[in-house]
Amino acid sequence: MGYTKLECALYVTCRGDKQKKELTKRFEEEHPGNNRLFMWDSHKSPNRIDFALSSGEFASHLDDDILAIAEWLRTNFKLQMQGYWYEQDEDTATRWEVHDGEIKSASLTWLKSCTVEHNEMLRKIAEARFHADFSQE
């Protein structure tokens, strides 16, 4: 039997506690995205709200719902959804992000054919190029 790994790391950062409370209240009342995502207070920042996939959802089928939430955030609160969602099974791995009202995706499956040494080299090149730390958490 196969497996599927799902990860949702989407979030929004509010401008303050008042906006965060209003956003949370309206999200619960209006249900943008058809209840396929839920939200909770982030432990990473007091003004951040994290989103998670509802039980049983597949990341590859959420484009319309996530775009609806991103548009709702932009229209009602002038906020941008940030982060990504990810799905991996025994054959494929894909990452999706929202950019300027569009879904962008990238297949990461090709990394499976790279050796550990090649992956380390690619990580170091990316860190140098983008001035970031991509080491595992």
Is 63 a member of any domain?
A: yes
Q: Tell me, yes or no, whether 32 lies in a domain.
A: yes
| Per-residue model confidence as pLDDT tens digits over 105-127 | 999 999 989 999 999 999 999 99
**Residue span of the structural domain in which 90 resides:** 4-109
Residue 118 is assigned to a structural domain of this protein:
no
Is residue 115 included in any domain, yes or no?
Answer: no
Q: Give the C-alpha distances (Å, rounded to integers) separating 6 from 11, 55, 56, 98.
A: 16, 10, 10, 17
Q: What is the pLDDT of residues 47-90, one digit of tens each?
A: 999 998 876 656 557 888 899 999 999 999 999 999 999 988 88
Total tally of structural domains belonging to the chain: 1
* Whole-number pLDDT of residue 55: 63
- DSSP H/E element including 96: strand 93-99
Q: Are 105 and 95 spatial neighbours (Cβ–Cβ below 8 Å)?
A: yes
Distance CA 54, CA 115 (A): 35
Q: Determine, yes or no, domain membership for 30.
A: yes
The C-alpha torsion from 43 through 48 and 53 to 58, rounded to 10°, is -120
Q: What is the CATH number of the domain that holds 84?
A: 3.30.70
Looking at the whole model, is its pTM more than 0.85? no
73 is a domain residue? yes
Domain-embedded: residue 126: no
